[in-house]
Amino acid sequence: MSRSSEALEIERKFEVAPTTAMADLAGVPGVHRVEVLTFPLVAEYFDTDDLRLLRAGITLRRRTGGDDDGWHLKLPKGADRSEIALPLDASSSELTPPTDLLDRVRVQLRGGSVGPVATLRTERVVSRLVDADGTELVEVADDRVSSSAGADGTAHLDQWREWEVELKDPSGEDVLAAVSELLVEAGAEPADRRAKLDRALADRVPARRPSASALAADLSADGPAGAVVLAHLADQAETLLAYDPKVRADEADSIHKMRVATRRMRSALSTFRPLLDRAVTDPIRDELKWLAAVLGVARDAEVQRDFSAGLVAAEPVELVMGPVAATLDHHWTSVYQQAHAEVVVTLDSTRYFTLLDRLEALITEPPLLPTAERPAGPELTRLTRRAYQRLAAAVDEIEHPPAVLPLGVTEATARDHHFHEARKAAKRLRYAAEAITPVLGDRAEALAAAAEDLQEVLGEHQDSVVAREWLREFAVQAFLRGENPFTYGRLHALEQARADRAETLFEPAWAALSATKMRGWLKGKR
């Protein structure tokens, strides 16, 4: 299979009567000449029986005719769409979409199989608007379309005419706007559907899921608190879906982004649970924890691989004794590869697909309690204040450790544990503040920034704890192999120093978070 190409598709669609004359495009400012071509197109559209792709605003087709024969996958991207294309070749099956494209939509298919759902035959007249340098700025398509449903294409559905204006070069944005205005003046009306398939399957088109941007459009401090939480959850669910194909393709930082989305949702379901039916949300929280743990194995290996490489590279050459860099790189790369393979298996599991279905239902049928109708400003402030109080309690454990420790627990181990618990509490507070920023503005944004600063300091401490554990193990293994463990011991000492620095920075970071201007808000003074 040939390598796919991807491009942002910026186009405008218009409905037009069969007898309407095409506007005169030659006089558009910036257009030097208009090249006109005519050709037939046949497009076979693929989806599940219940149209899962179309419901997500996605179309998958195999088209012949014109100059772009091949498989086309169109994905929503803001107000426009991203198009991924694969040319046809001898190995292409007419009824089996390429794996390269299916991998990008498995998160929508969720185990469902795809097949032909409609055939569109189009008589297309294309006007290419070219500037004086020979650059094609805009393409205008005059399409007369007939559609039929099913794999055999025998059930006639509809016939219509439409105009499409597509931007072909970034320099043609003004031409795109001018042409769109001309077409309206000629009698066209902006189309209310984004894809021909929507019209071909008009009687079967499922309701689209509400987007996070739509849910966030009318949020206010006086509006319902539940709406703010719902918009935040929808935004994170969309992030998870967006990174699914990137994780499968092993794109850089994709596992981290997907894992953060699961953590943000889980944190929101915890912080704002008085607004939600826990009988519905608690099982979702448990499954998000499971998914984050699976992603975490790969993410932690990825972090340790990069961190250990930098750690060794920063050392003077004479202090690196033995194959330290190669040993660490081989170990963490192997761990990551195995963990990533397990992640991909997980992303194809029934358990994962069930979680996605539950998240979708959480947005479309939100389990909101009557408390969710309370004004967002005071209610979300109250719930965020509770997250702050949990952090304060965790900090108190650091500042006033228990006099008697459990059997087998040292003071150092207990202190590391308390720092780690405070880090998790700081992260929950940060996530809560970020979630309510759309309605509480600068106050919440300042809180989120201060919580993030504290989280980073505590994160340095926890990273040092983890690094020292595996450095000690590597030192033991090196000794048993007859190698010199000196460098591992030196790195261990440097990591101890990093933890000590983090502890020094902890107090000022906590003081900044609990500063008077912020403390007044969090203690209930408004």
> 379 or 83: which carries more pLDDT confidence?
379
Q: What is the pLDDT of residue 410?
A: 85
How high does pLDDT run on average in the chain? 90
Cross-strand pairs, 166 = 11, 139
Structure tokens at 61: 């087709």
Q: Please, which pLDDT band fits residue 213 given cuts at 50, 70 and 90?
A: confident
Instruction: Decide if pLDDT at 192 tops 70.
Output: no
**pLDDT score at 333:** 96
pLDDT value of residue 517? 53
pLDDT over 80 at 332, yes or no:
yes
Q: In terms of DSSP bridges, do strands 33-47 and 115-130 run parallel, antiparallel, or are they unpaired?
A: antiparallel
Measured between alpha carbons, how far is 32 from 18 in angstroms, rounded to an integer?
28
Report domain extents, the chain. Answer: 5-200, 215-522
Q: How far apart are CA 150 and CA 44, in angstroms?
A: 10
Residue 526: pLDDT band (50, 70, 90) is very low
Three-state secondary structure readout of 249-311:
CCCCCHHHHHHHHHHHHHHHHHHCHHHECHHHHHHHHHHHHHHHHHHHHHHHHHHHHHHHHHH
Return the pLDDT at 92. 58
Confidence of residue 518 (pLDDT cuts 50, 70, 90): low
Query: Mapped to the 3 state alphabet, what secondary structure does 213-245 carry?
Result: HHHCCCCCCCCEHHHHHHHHHHHHHHHHHHHHH
Count of C-beta atoms within a 10 Å radius of residue 379: 23
Lowest mean pLDDT segment, chosen from 10-19, 249-258, 361-370 = 10-19
b/e map 18-34, b = 16+ CB within 10 Å: eebebbebeebeebeee
CATH topology of domain 5-200: Hypothetical Protein Pfu-838710-001 (2.40.320)
Mean pLDDT of the region 445-453: 94
* Residue 521 predicted with pLDDT over 70: no
Residue partners of 188: CB distance under 8 A and separation at least 6: 14, 15, 16, 20, 163
> For the chain, how far is it from start to end, CA to CA, in angstroms?
62
The pLDDT-based confidence of 2 (bands split at 50, 70, 90) is: very low
- The conformation of residue 375, written as its DSSP 8-state character, comes to B
Listed range (404-408, 450-454, 513-517) with the worst mean pLDDT: 513-517
Does residue 69 contact residue 88 with C-beta atoms inside 8 Å? yes
- Other C-beta atoms closer than 10 Å to the C-beta of 154 total 9
- State the architecture of 215-522 in CATH terms: Alpha solenoid (1.40)
For residue 116, name the pLDDT band (cuts at 50, 70, 90): very high
- pLDDT, residue 516, reads 54
Least confident of 189-198, 223-232, 453-462: 189-198
Quote the CA–CA distance of 234 and 179 in Å, as a whole number. Answer: 36
Residue 94 CB burial class (10 angstroms; 0-12, 13-18, ≥19): exposed
Position 364 scores a pLDDT of 92
Percent share of the chain, pLDDT over 70: 92
Which amino acid makes up residue 235? D
Quote the longest CA-to-CA distance of the chain: 89
Residues 73 and 81: their CA atoms lie apart, in Å, by 10
Could you tell me the pLDDT band of residue 55, with boundaries at 50, 70 and 90?
Answer: confident
Residue 406 confidence (pLDDT) = 82
